[in-house]
Structure 1
Amino acid sequence: MGRVKMNNGKAKHLIVISYDAFSEDNWEKASRLPNLSRLIENGVSSTKLKSVYPTLTYVVHTTMMTGVYPDKHGIYHNNPLQPFVREEDQAWFWFRKDIKVPTVYEALKKHRMKSAAILWPVTGKASIRYNMPEIKAIGRENQALKILKNGNPFYCMRLERKFGKIRKGIEQPYLDDFTVMCGTDTILEKKPELLMIHFIDLDDAKHHYGTDSAEIDQVLLRMDERIGKMMAAVLEAGISEETVFMVLGDHGQKNVRYKVRLNQLLKEDGLIFEKNGKLHWRAYLQSTGGSAYLHVKEDDEEAKGRALRIIQTAAEEERLGIEKIYTEEELKAFHAFPVSGCMLEAKMGFSFDDSLTGPLVTDLKEENKTYATHGYSPEKSEYNCCFVVSGKGIRKGYQLGEIHMVDIAPTIASILGVEFGSCDGRVLEEVFLNN
């Protein structure tokens, strides 16, 4: 457990760029591009940033901001459990109230320092001075109104008026092009002490085209240009001598050939059933893509026993892609959120899907489809994230070994000189000059 005490800070401004899905397999190409390479040469980097379990965006970003693992912060998935609701219609963990522990941006507020966040996960109604949260309208909700209601309305309206025409819904590259314009404008107009900005282009491309497609190379180029625009804005704002940049990935992705729908086995056994025209469940597998939580109705030990037997039998079938069934004790070692004390890990080339329709196993290669996903254990090979920190008070041209996602929040606090309470991570003291 670490605790960050008040110090003078290393820099007045910190820009945290979440480069979603930026993992070690992208490092060779990305690190040679002009803007990121400049940050690397003038800073500290690592290709061994270890994520948390499961490796889902909202789970990881919450750890980045709190310095604790999911078992403490409570964001265990992108989505709260919503059985039988289509993925596109599901609510997400959009709101700050769902986080059970303090955040680093709240520590800044106590010191009367300004934070800004642009499309940063789990920040709906957060106490961030300039906040455009990542949030989506579902059902009959209005997208613009939902953002205004849960972010800073005047800030959001201003950015929407200036740059809204760039965006085409969530389609890329337009969404990240909009995001970077919002980011550069915020640097120039607001000069916040902490700016958190979330880019999604790489994650989207990997999901759709796989991890090793030509499209990925194009995204890496676009992302380097966006980083360059942020750097140029800092220079134009006249704060470059007092600024640190932190660029980091949240998870990797793995190519998938087989999608497996294990809830169909629970349905066959009657643990998922229809009654009065509606679906009900006693046990349900909530997929993360690369893993799945077993949910069981409270105090239904009989259902839990039956579900575990079904899962254990399924694990003996090669084609169902179950690499490991984690017990409660093993999940404690991962600091994973204890949903029911059972979690399934998929084999390489496999992913899990909640759906009750379609075949039990789909071979995507036979259907001529490419797909990649995440949610796997952070221990998977070649699955670490990339990390770069560069600027005032930071060592130059230094490479770190293994570091952990829980180290990000305390290091942010230390860079900006604010006190941060106890957490699971440590300050990465070795990145600073004179250490």
Structure 2
Amino acid sequence: MDQRVGQLIQATKDAGTFEQTNFVCLGDHYQIDVNQMIHFNTLFAKKGWLTPIKNQQTFKNNWRVMAKTCDGETYVYVRPGIDRDEVRREIAGVKGIEKIYDGAQAVRLGADPRCTFLVEAKAGWYFTDEAQRPAVVESVLPSMMGTSDRYRGVHGYGADKPDYFTTAVFYGPDIKKRAQVEHAELVDEGPTFAELLGLSYPRPTAGKPIKGIFKKVKHEI
């Protein structure tokens, strides 16, 4: 990645536009180190709530309870006829679980309104969709690296996770040197880029320009 950024910078120098160009390097999420994985669908198969497909880690469409991973969190869907309280008790008893949100709570967080539960893992743990693992919880071993769903770091956790932040680095003629902004939201990036380009949104937007980075605020977004 460093090499690619260097190529872009060199291209502006070759074009004679380096001194007039604002550069931004940013991430849309952070990664948390992991060493344990949780297979809810393996648990649900053991409970008889879904039927794994032979020699695969997927399952038949006649499931009654299923999980869909988002890495650090996972959705759980429960079809009618299954006791939701029992499902909640089962998933709460799995090692590595930090939070369980019901459907209404999940919607308020911006999650899938169709889910029954949204479940968050503790730091160091993540979810897969696999339905036929030897255990519901497994360690991630070095020998597993390079195979599907085996990671040393993932994202997808709740935004309030401690020390779970990403970074944006700005440089250019409109940027204050050595300025630091302690906190901003991802939705602030669009308005900030618009500010740098001298543009404005035609209607109100969720984010706002990160004012602390500018040498001079050009206009309100």
TM-score (norm 2): 0.80
Aligned to 1:162: none
Residues in 1 aligned to 2:47 and 2:90: alpha-carbon distance in whole angstroms = 13
**Retained in 1: the 8 A contact 2:102–2:118?**
yes
Query: CA RMSD for the aligned pairs?
Result: 2.6
Aligned to 1:301: 80
The structural deviation recorded for 1:367 is 6.0
Sort the Cα spacing of 1:358 and 1:316 in 2 relative to 1 into closer, same or farther, 3 A: closer
Residues in 1 aligned to 2:17 and 2:187: alpha-carbon distance in whole angstroms = 28
Q: Give per-residue Cα distances to partners, 1:209-241, cap 9 Å, x unaligned.
A: xxxxxxxxxxxxxx3333222111111112223
**Structure that is richer in helix per residue:** 1
- List gaps (5 residues or longer) in structure 1: 1-222
The structural deviation recorded for 1:398 is 0.4
Q: Give per-residue Cα distances to partners, 1:89-111, cap 9 Å, x unaligned.
A: xxxxxxxxxxxxxxxxxxxxxxx
Q: Which amino acid aligns with 1:354?
A: D
Which of 90, 93, 113 is the matching residue for 1:316? 93
**Retained in 1: the 8 A contact 2:52–2:132?**
no
**Retained in 1: the 8 A contact 2:103–2:114?**
no
Equivalent residues in 2 for 1:265-284 (5 A)? Answer: 265-273=43-51, 279-280=60-61, 281-284=63-66
- List gaps (5 residues or longer) in structure 2: 54-58, 146-150
Residues in 2 aligned to 1:324 and 1:339: alpha-carbon distance in whole angstroms = 18
Q: Identity across aligned pairs (percent)?
A: 30
Q: Give per-residue Cα distances to partners, 1:386-414, cap 9 Å, x unaligned.
A: 11122132222100011000111121222
Structure of higher CA gyration radius: 2
Tell me the secondary structure at the aligned position of residue 35 of structure 2. strand
Which of 50, 59, 70 is the matching residue for 1:288? 70
Q: Which amino acid aligns with 2:88?
A: I
Aligned to 1:247: 25
Q: Which amino acid aligns with 1:375?
A: G
Residues in 1 aligned to 2:193 and 2:114: alpha-carbon distance in whole angstroms = 30
**Retained in 1: the 8 A contact 2:188–2:208?**
yes
Residue 398 in structure 1 maps to residue 142 in structure 2: no
Residues in 2 aligned to 1:246 and 1:341: alpha-carbon distance in whole angstroms = 39
Aligned to 2:152: 371
Q: Give per-residue Cα distances to partners, 1:2-38, cap 9 Å, x unaligned.
A: xxxxxxxxxxxxxxxxxxxxxxxxxxxxxxxxxxxxx
Structure of greater relative contact order (alpha carbons < 8 Å, 6+ residues apart):
1
Aligned to 1:347: 122
Residue 434 in structure 1 maps to residue 210 in structure 2: no
Runs of 4+ more than 4 Å apart = 365-370
Residues in 1 aligned to 2:36 and 2:206: alpha-carbon distance in whole angstroms = 36
The structural deviation recorded for 1:434 is 2.6
Aligned to 2:132: 357
Q: Give per-residue Cα distances to partners, 1:131-174, cap 9 Å, x unaligned.
A: xxxxxxxxxxxxxxxxxxxxxxxxxxxxxxxxxxxxxxxxxxxx
